[in-house]
Amino acid sequence: MEGDGKTKQPFCFEVNQGQLFAFAGVGDRWKDPNGNWVKTCSILTTTPNAVTSAVHDRMPVILDPDSFDLWLDPGMTKVEAVSDLLRPCDARLMRCYPVSTRINRVANDDAECSAPVELAQIQDRLFS
């Protein structure tokens, strides 16, 4: 609920002026005790850069497009070959801006969810 004192300000993070970007993730599948296959995945995180540190104490590993093939190579077994990829994204390539709390409702699925808002607008709504 808005204005309940528990709602945190959501932010949009962009890389390369809004281009698509990829997180470093790992996936696996395994059988549970009942013999059912379970598919799992995780997004790897790292220390925050200057853009993300104001919001959180860690950030997802964002891969450079030049490293996609290396990261996705199913034959890759050399940890040291990919360990250099597990670093914070260059903060100069990123930007962050506040967005409306309407993004917190799954029913809201439109471009307005990622539209920038002024923090003053949000404060006015909370205290009026």
Q: Is 98's pLDDT higher than 80?
A: yes
Cα–Cα distance list, 30 to 27, 33, 72 (Å): 10, 10, 20
pLDDT of residue 3: 47
Residue of higher predicted confidence among 37 and 121: 37
Structural domains of the chain, count: 1
Range of the domain at 50: 11-127
What's the CATH number where 23 sits?
A: 3.90.1680.10
Residue 86: pLDDT over 90: yes
| Higher per-residue pLDDT: 99 or 119 | 99
SS3 state of residue 3: coil
DSSP-assigned letters across all residues of 69-112: HHHH-TT---HHHHHTTSSPPPGGGEEEEEB-GGGGSTT--SGG
Q: CB-based contacts of 117: which residues, under 8 Å, 6+ apart?
A: 98, 99, 100
- Length reported for the chain: 128
Q: Is residue 4 part of a domain?
A: no
Classify residue 90: in a domain, yes or no: yes
Give the burial class of 48: count Cβ atoms within 10 A of its Cβ; 0-12 exposed, 13-18 middle, 19 or more buried. middle
In a domain, 6, yes or no: no
Q: Identify whether 38 is part of a domain.
A: yes
pLDDT digits (tens, 9 = 90+) for 7-66: 789 999 999 999 999 999 999 999 999 999 999 999 999 999 999 999 999 999 999 999
pLDDT number for residue 8: 84
